Amino acid sequence: MSGVEGRVMGFGEPAPRMLDRLGRAVILGSLRRLKKGCLRVRTPDGAAYRFGGVRPGPEATITIRHPRFFRRMLADGEVGAGEAYIRGEWSADSAMEAVRLGILNRRFLRPLVPLLWPAAAMAWMAHKVRSNTMSGSRRNIHDHYDLGNDFFALFLDPSMTYSCAYFDEELLAADAEVGMQALERAQLAKYRLLARKAGIRPGSHVLEIGCGWGGFAELAASEFGCRVTGVTISRKQAAYARERMARAGLADRVSIEVLDYREITGVYDSIVSIEMLEAVGHRFLPAYFRKCDEVLAPGGRAVIQVITIPDNRYLRYRLRPDYIQRFIFPGAHLPSLGALTRALRPTALGIRDREDLAAHYALTLATWRPLLLEQRQALFALGFDESFLRRWEFYFAYCEAAFRTRYVADWQLVLERRE
């Protein structure tokens, strides 16, 4: 069921341009194909529409505050919707549910390919210049992680863990926002799970590729009695992690190095890499796994936690940058399981076991988002503005919706040498 429900009072109507009017006609026409769930739309001229309701699903109400929203959607699809959100051109009672509706109905909605290709071509070219060469990787990481430790501390738990947590079954089943203490427990539980899967023992020498602020390295060294060499290409993260190890009395057991993964040398009993592989890029996946193969000791084990995209969407994803690549993490790349398997073939390593943490990531993101929004004034005091806050709010909502719908996965992959 769809159609105009009536007028909403109190909304001004900026004069729409021709592309705005065309975009409105195309977008609203496309939404009439929506089947799962229900989307209510309020437009700048005060009209109210209701789409969907044919099948059960999420419900959301979006308020379009400027006709330019339609032009952005017409030109750039989901990326345009994200940019319009950043600019305050639309809002929602739940941005996450609005994105979830879009994902669940993607095969019903009429594609906008004829008008998308010019913007898509420009976006692809811009993304290509952010290739993850050694110099490119440093630039890309700087643009994301070097926003400042104080910024990330606004929403991360005390362990400063910026990756999926691992919740107990009761919290996962309740699927409700959890507090900071529960989040910290779940992050430490994730670290312990990874250490067990990696076979870490007292005296082991562990390599962590992409050590972040040092949360895993601290726990592994203190609880499992191992030595850890952590590598990162973020100087701000490295400085924080070194100070952390000194405070914890672990400086003699944990070494933090500013190194690209391609520069790693030595031999290690175990390798752990937590959501770093997304910064490698399709072109360099074979080089990453060759390095793991080169430095992993005989009988050793590597555990890689990585966000992936399904194989049937991988080529399309590679050709058209998404919201995250455009506005959050330049150079980011989600591999597919097929791409990972192919990159592993020239090495002696194979996937022995895997576990998908998608449900855990949805809950992690559902916790981070309100924590960040609660710190609005602290964020502004750091020099960030409202559009930056909306950029990250939409990022968390976008990712949570993707994990809830299994549009993406978050695998823990256990790698061992093939016999």
**CATH number of the domain encompassing residue 330:** 3.40.50.150
**What local confidence, expressed as pLDDT, does residue 144 receive?**
57
**Whether residue 172 is found in the same domain as residue 116:** no
**Whether residue 360 is found in the same domain as residue 266:** yes
**Whether residue 321 is found in the same domain as residue 212:** yes
**What local confidence, expressed as pLDDT, does residue 130 receive?**
52
Q: Answer with the one of 66, 94, 122 that is the final residue of a domain.
A: 122
Residue 53 has pLDDT above 90, yes or no: no
pLDDT-derived band of residue 330, with 50, 70 and 90 as boundaries? confident
pLDDT-derived band of residue 257, with 50, 70 and 90 as boundaries? very high
pLDDT-derived band of residue 2, with 50, 70 and 90 as boundaries? very low
**What local confidence, expressed as pLDDT, does residue 121 receive?**
56
Residues 262-276 have a mean pLDDT of 98
**Whether residue 178 is found in the same domain as residue 308:** yes
Residue 184 has pLDDT above 50, yes or no: yes
pLDDT-derived band of residue 176, with 50, 70 and 90 as boundaries? confident
**Whether residue 103 is found in the same domain as residue 202:** no
Residue 4 has pLDDT above 50, yes or no: no
Q: Model confidence over 283-322: pLDDT tens digits?
A: 999 999 999 999 999 999 999 999 999 999 999 999 888 9
Predicted TM-score (pTM) of this structure:
0.90
**Whether residue 69 is found in the same domain as residue 150:** no
- The answer to whether position 333 is within a domain reads yes
Written as six digits, the tokens of 210 are: 């992409």
Q: Answer with the one of 76, 100, 122 that is the final residue of a domain.
A: 122
**Whether residue 167 is found in the same domain as residue 236:** yes
| Among candidate residues 154, 94, 91, 177, the one with its CA nearest the CA of residue 377 | 154
Residue 11 has pLDDT above 80, yes or no: no
**Whether residue 118 is found in the same domain as residue 36:** yes
| Diameter of the chain measured on Cα atoms | 70
Number of domains present in the structure of the chain: 2
More confident residue, 76 or 370: 370
Q: Which CATH number does the domain housing residue 104 bear?
A: 3.30.1050
**What local confidence, expressed as pLDDT, does residue 377 receive?**
98
Question: Alpha-carbon distance 204 to 325, whole Å?
Answer: 37
**Whether residue 253 is found in the same domain as residue 336:** yes
Which residue type does 165 have?
Answer: A
Q: Do residues 236 and 256 lie in contact, with contact meaning Cβ atoms separated by under 8 Å?
A: no
Looking at the chain, the whole-number percentage of residues with pLDDT higher than 70 is 87
Of the listed ranges 52-56, 288-292, 408-412, the least confidently predicted one is 52-56
CA atoms within 13 A on the CB side of 145: 27
Question: Alpha-carbon distance 43 to 56, whole Å?
Answer: 24
Residue 270 has pLDDT above 70, yes or no: yes
**What local confidence, expressed as pLDDT, does residue 16 receive?**
61
Q: Answer with the one of 88, 122, 156 that is the final residue of a domain.
A: 122
- The answer to whether position 128 is within a domain reads no
**What local confidence, expressed as pLDDT, does residue 119 receive?**
57
**Whether residue 197 is found in the same domain as residue 77:** no
- The answer to whether position 246 is within a domain reads yes
Question: Alpha-carbon distance 157 to 186, whole Å?
Answer: 10
**What local confidence, expressed as pLDDT, does residue 164 receive?**
99
Dihedral pair phi/psi, residue 78, rounded to 5°: -65, -35
**Domain of 284, in residue numbers:** 134-417
- The answer to whether position 370 is within a domain reads yes
**Whether residue 76 is found in the same domain as residue 155:** no
Over the chain, what is the mean pLDDT? 90
Q: Model confidence over 12-40: pLDDT tens digits?
A: 445 568 888 999 999 999 999 999 999 99
- The answer to whether position 127 is within a domain reads no
SS3 (DSSP) at 368: helix
Which residue type does 10 have?
Answer: G
Residues 332-350 have a mean pLDDT of 97
Of the listed ranges 47-61, 140-154, 205-219, the least confidently predicted one is 140-154
- The answer to whether position 129 is within a domain reads no
**What local confidence, expressed as pLDDT, does residue 95 receive?**
98
Q: Model confidence over 109-168: pLDDT tens digits?
A: 755 544 555 555 555 555 555 556 655 555 655 555 568 899 999 999 999 999 999 999
Q: Do residues 400 and 367 lie in contact, with contact meaning Cβ atoms separated by under 8 Å?
A: no
**What local confidence, expressed as pLDDT, does residue 86 receive?**
98
Q: Do residues 158 and 184 lie in contact, with contact meaning Cβ atoms separated by under 8 Å?
A: yes
pLDDT-derived band of residue 97, with 50, 70 and 90 as boundaries? very high
**Whether residue 181 is found in the same domain as residue 205:** yes
Q: Do residues 364 and 183 lie in contact, with contact meaning Cβ atoms separated by under 8 Å?
A: yes
pLDDT-derived band of residue 7, with 50, 70 and 90 as boundaries? very low
| Among candidate residues 384, 286, 393, the one with its CA nearest the CA of residue 335 | 286
